[in-house]
Amino acid sequence: MPELLTRLLGREHAPTIAGLVTADLREAGGSKVEAFPALSNAWRNQASAQPPIIIHFGGETLGCSLSDGYAMTLDPSARSRFLQMLREAPSQAAAEMRSATGLNASFAYLASSGNLPVSSICAHHAVGLAQPGELSPSARKALLRNLESSLFLGVRGEKGADFLEKSGLPVHRMPCVVTALPWLCGDDIAARGPLVDLRERFPKGWIAVQISAYRKKLYAPTARALGDFARTRGLGVVFFAAGTATGHDDPSSMERLALSLPEGTGHFLRSRHIWDLAGVVTGAEMFCGTSLHGRILAMAAGIPRLSLAARFAKIHSYCQLWEHPDLPVEVSPEALPRLLPLLEGQDRALLRRHARWLAQRYLNAFTLMAKVCGLPTATLPSPLTTSHPLAPRG
C-alpha cells in the first residue's frame, strides 16, 4: 500500500512511511518504516516547519487496540509472555507498551491531536472498522472524537461506514488502493522471476491458495478438494503465506499442504517479496483463501475467487460494498467440490469490467481526498477507458 500511494502521489512527493515500530521492509519490496511517535515528537519540536499531512491508510486499523497492535510486532514467544502479562499484570503490560512504542493511548494506529503539531492535516484513506459493536463505550467515544478532525474519512467496509455515518461523521465509501494495483504495478509484477517460473511449471495456470494459521481445520479438506479439481484440468495449486506477522499465516503448514497433493499438482511459493505474493494471485486462474487482501487482489485481477469459511467480519463488510453480486462470499470446504466448477464458469469479461469499475471508484475517491487535502497527484490512466493490464491467457 505505501508503494501504491507513492505512485499515486508521484515519486517526487513520496511520503514518509510511519508505523507502530521502526522496521526496514525494503528487502521484501516494502518500505522503511519509522515509528510514528518518534516522528510526531520531531514535528512538534520544529515549530517553524510546515505542519505535516498525515494520511492514515488501512487495513483493519481503526479499532485495533494498542495491545493487539503491539502483540503483532513480537515474535511468538515474546507475544505469549506479553499476553500472559496483559491478563495477570495489566499495569506492567501497559508500561511495557508505553516504553516500546512511545504511545499512551487506547488505539495502535490513530494519530490524534495529542501527538500532532497544531494545524496538521489528517485524512483517512480506505480504513476499516468491521466490528464497531465490539468497541467499549469509552473506546467508541474516543474513536469518534478522534475522527471528528479528519479532513477526509474514506472507509472501505459497509459496517464501519454505516456506524460512522450514523454517528454524524461525513463518510466516503472507498475501496482499498489494491484495487488499482494492475494499472499502477502490473508490469512490475508480471516480470518477476518466481512468476515466470510458475508460468513454466503450470502452463495451463494455477489456483492461488492461502489459509491463515488459526484456521487449521480447513487445511486438509480444502487441499483435497482443490487437488482433485486442479488435477482434472491440468492446473497447479500454489499455496502461499499472505502475512507472517505473529498470529497470521504459517508458511511451514502451507508447504506441507503443497507436498500432500499428487506430484506435479502442488507448489509452495517461498518468496516473501510483496510483488511475488501479489503476482501469485493476480496471475492465477482463481483464488481461494482466508485473506481479505488476497480476495481484493483477485477482484483487482478480475479472476474468480472464494473466501474459505473463516467467518471474518472484515471480509463480509468489504464484500457488502464492493463484491460482484454473482459471486459467493464465503464457502465451507465441504461445498468446494460443488462450487469450484461453477466458479470456473464465471464470465471473465464481466469480472474484468467489475475490476475496472472498482479501480475507477478508488481513483475517484483518491482524487477527491487529494483535492480536499491539497495533495499532489501523478498523471494516471482511467481504468474505465483503458484495457485491463493483466490480459487473460489465450
Does residue 168 register a pLDDT over 90? yes
Q: What is the C-alpha separation between 331 and 346, in angstroms, rounded?
A: 16
What pLDDT does 393 receive? Answer: 46
Domain-located, residue 392: no
Q: Report the C-alpha gap between 346 and 326 in whole angstroms.
A: 9
In terms of domains, do 92 and 164 share one? yes
Say yes or no: 341 and 276 in one domain. Answer: yes
Has residue 44 been placed in a domain?
yes
pLDDT of residue 26: 92
Q: How confident is the model at residue 39 (pLDDT cuts 50, 70, 90)?
A: confident
Same domain assignment for residues 97 and 239: no
Domain membership of residue 383 (yes or no) is no
Confidence of residue 187 (pLDDT cuts 50, 70, 90): confident
**Is residue 141 a part of any domain in this protein?**
yes
Per-residue pLDDT tens digits for 113-145: 566 766 778 899 999 999 999 999 999 998 999
In a domain, 390, yes or no: no
190 and 281 both lie in a single domain = yes
SS3 19: strand
**Domain assignment present for 270:** yes
For residues 172 and 116, membership in a common domain is answered with yes
Q: State mean pLDDT over 256-282.
A: 93
Residue 243 belongs to a domain:
yes
Q: Is residue 115 part of a domain?
A: yes
Residues 23 and 49 in one domain: yes
Cell numbers representing residue 205 in the block: 495456470
Question: Using one digit for the tens of pLDDT, what is the confidence trace for 329-368?
Answer: 988 888 999 999 999 999 999 999 999 999 999 999 999 9
394: confidence class by pLDDT, cuts 50, 70, 90: very low
79 and 167 both lie in a single domain: yes
Where b means 16+ CB within 10 Å and e means fewer, 132-153 reads: beebeeeebebbbebbeebebb
Please check the confidence at residue 12 and state whether its pLDDT lies above 50: yes
DSSP bridge partners of 19? 35
Percent share of the chain, pLDDT over 70: 95
**Containing structural domain, residue 301:** 180-353
pLDDT band of 218, cuts 50, 70, 90: confident
Cα separation, 314 vs 316, whole angstroms: 6
pLDDT higher for 125 or 190?
A: 125
For the chain, give the percent of residues with pLDDT over 90: 55
Do residue 320 and residue 195 come from a single domain? yes
Cβ proximity of 352 and 332 under 8 Å: no
**Band of residue 19 on the pLDDT scale cut at 50, 70, 90:** confident
Least confident stretch, 74-78, 343-347, 384-388:
384-388
Better pLDDT: 294 or 215 = 294
217-235 mean pLDDT:
91
What pLDDT is recorded for position 72?
A: 87
Residue 217, burial from CB neighbour count under 10 angstroms (0-12, 13-18, 19+): exposed
Is pLDDT above 70 for 47? no
Do residue 43 and residue 68 come from a single domain?
yes
Q: Is the separation of the CB atoms in 71 and 246 below 8 Å? A: yes
- In this model, does residue 244 exceed pLDDT 80? no
Q: Most confidently modeled of 93-107, 228-242, 308-322?
A: 228-242
Segment 47-63 shows an average pLDDT of 81
Helix (H/G/I), strand (E/B), else coil: 251: helix
Number of domains in the chain: 2
- Average pLDDT of the segment spanning 229-255: 87
218, 253: one domain = yes
State whether 373 and 338 are in the same domain.
no
What is the pLDDT at residue 278?
94
Say if residues 91 and 161 touch (Cβ distance below 8 Å): no
For residue 332, give the CATH number of its domain.
Answer: 3.40.50.2000
**Are both 43 and 113 inside the same structural domain?**
yes
Q: CA–CA separation, 253 vs 259, rounded Å? A: 10
For residue 268, pLDDT over 90 is answered with: yes
